[in-house]
Structure 1
Amino acid sequence: MSESLDILLTNDDGIDNPGLLAVRDALSEIGDVTVVAPASDQSATGRAMSTDVHVEERDHGYAVQGTPADCVVAGMEALGPTPDLVVAGCNAGANLGTYVLGRSGTVSAAVEAAFFDVPAIAVSRLLEPGQVGSRDLTTDGYQTAAHATKYLAEHALGAGVFDHADYLNVNAPIAGQESGDMRITRPSDAYDMTARRQDATHVTIHDRMWDHMESGDIDDPDGTDRRAVLDGHVSVSPLTAPHSTHHHDALDALAQTY
């Protein structure tokens, strides 16, 4: 690891969230960390982008009135040195499964960095049952996630990990239930969203995967991110960002008859 390692750190829970502060403290031991993070909670904003954002310099870094994707672009182009690595997190709540990859602000920050051709790590932490969405944790509750992030930031670049992956989606288990192991995983493809119409103007949307996780009633096989985290391991999924396209005979035929 080079002593000149520059790291851009962001999140989607807001600049004052203890998860970000825990990761900042860990990464500061191995490099120069520039924090550019949302001024307020921007969870589940995906890659939403603004055209003009207010920036305020605070003790922790730059607070941006915008989304995590805004923060990455602003940090890259206007507020800090060009980083060797972008880190997003640590998020309060796990980001597991293929269906959350486009929804999560934490993961979307890493994807935004990938389009700049800068390696990135998105890191999240599973919360205790009934604590989903909680922002009440202290920095002590993020130490496993912070340690894993520091380890990957220190070693992954030199090991050639990012020759094959654009970003890593890292998830840590519930504090106190850690196995001490790190597992390389793939995102689970399990999906269970429901919607119920309450009245003429109100529909309730619910992600039932959280219910399955809290009860332990999941079908995720070994090798998936959700299975690894529920078993107490740190999950690391190596992922690529650009959408791929493939030759499609049926679509070619439709175009020819248009």
Structure 2
Amino acid sequence: MRILLTNDDGIYAPGLRALRNELKHLGDVTVVAPATEQSAAGHSVTLLNPLLVSEVFEDDGTTFIGWAVEGRPADCVKLALLELLPDPPDVIISGMNAGSNAGINVLYSGTVAAAVEGAFFRRTAIAVSLEYDKKIEDFAGGARLARRVIEQILARNPAAGSLFNVNLPVLERGPVRGIKVLPQNVSPYQEKFDRRVNPRGRTYFWADPEFRCADPHPDTDVTALAEGYVTVTPLKFDLTDHARLAELQGWGLELT
């Protein structure tokens, strides 16, 4: 099996390294990932600057890993599929992200965006993220858990273009309670900014990294993740509100 591995934390991120080590048990892994961190880049792409690409090797200097791209996660997948890989991958894995991508975070996440880009190209794509408490980051344990989930998804031979969002709970909280397939929570997060003034009197703001979902709703990915479950959510990129489409068509909108 040919596996394309990407992320948004950058090609040298420990989460990607740990997941690559596990995915090598499943097939041939080629990495095409951002040269630098691109967290919360969403599905942005580079249009006005060249995409510089560099080959990356293991510490021995001879074992080829893949390519570092000075661009966004979606750029990486585009280049991999259209220019860099001699053969198309059987599956595209994005991660393992440092921090969960549950709830509305999928709209901001570069990790999820890279997987969405893969689904555009009719490839099975899986985004993988590890929740953590910013003190302990068990990427090796998370990668072993992610591999077991990925194996089970692929064993079902999902249809071309299938897209999955996998979130792993904080492993240090205790044993993982199981896997739940649940919808994405769409409630907004409570966010705040730290207001400051620089030495020249200009006001600036830092986004506070501590935010929470005030209305987590039972039976959604946010709630199950907090309860210690791995969550798997099938996603799609068709944003059309099909339930309201017929209603709008009946409005008789016209140019007058």
TM-score (norm 2): 0.83
Superposed, which structure 2 residues align to 1:148-167 within 5 Å?
148-160=145-157, 162-163=158-159, 166-167=162-163
CA distance in structure 1 between the aligned counterparts of 2:187 and 2:27, rounded to whole angstroms: 37
Matching residue's letter, 2:143: A
Determine the structure 1 residue equivalent to 2:61.
Answer: none
- What is the aligned residue count? 239
- Superposition deviation, residue 255 in structure 1: 2.3
Residue 170 in 1 paired to residue 175 in 2?
no
Residue 89 in 1 paired to residue 95 in 2?
yes
- Superposition deviation, residue 167 in structure 1: 1.2
Determine the structure 1 residue equivalent to 2:60.
Answer: none
CA distance in structure 2 between the aligned counterparts of 1:89 and 1:167, rounded to whole angstroms: 14
SS in structure 1 at match of 2:38 = coil
- Superposition deviation, residue 156 in structure 1: 1.8
Superposed, which structure 2 residues align to 1:1-258 within 5 Å?
5-51=1-47, 52-59=50-57, 60-80=65-85, 81-97=87-103, 99-128=104-133, 131=134, 137=137, 141-160=138-157, 162-163=158-159, 166-177=162-173, 178-191=175-188, 192-194=190-192, 202=203, 204=205, 206=207, 210-212=210-212, 218-246=214-242, 247-250=245-248, 253=251, 255-258=253-256
Q: CA 1:207–1:121 in 2, change beyond 3 Å: closer, same or farther?
A: farther
CA distance in structure 2 between the aligned counterparts of 1:46 and 1:193, rounded to whole angstroms: 18
1:53-104, Cα deviation, whole Å (9 max, x unpaired): 111001132111011001101111111220111000011111111x222210
CA distance in structure 1 between the aligned counterparts of 2:41 and 2:212, rounded to whole angstroms: 24
SS in structure 2 at match of 1:122 = strand
CA RMSD of aligned residues (A): 2.6
Matching residue's letter, 1:84: D
- Superposition deviation, residue 201 in structure 1: 5.9
Q: Any conservation in 2 of the 1:165–1:238 contact (CA below 8 Å)?
A: no
Matching residue's letter, 1:124: S
Q: Any conservation in 1 of the 2:120–2:161 contact (CA below 8 Å)?
A: no
TM-score (norm 1): 0.82
Q: Any conservation in 1 of the 2:2–2:29 contact (CA below 8 Å)?
A: yes
Unaligned runs of 5+ in 2: 58-64
Q: Any conservation in 2 of the 1:165–1:240 contact (CA below 8 Å)?
A: no
| Identity score, percent | 35
Q: Any conservation in 2 of the 1:184–1:223 contact (CA below 8 Å)?
A: no
Determine the structure 1 residue equivalent to 2:62.
Answer: none
Matching residue's letter, 1:116: F
- Superposition deviation, residue 190 in structure 1: 2.0
CA distance in structure 1 between the aligned counterparts of 2:46 and 2:92, rounded to whole angstroms: 20
- Superposition deviation, residue 219 in structure 1: 3.8
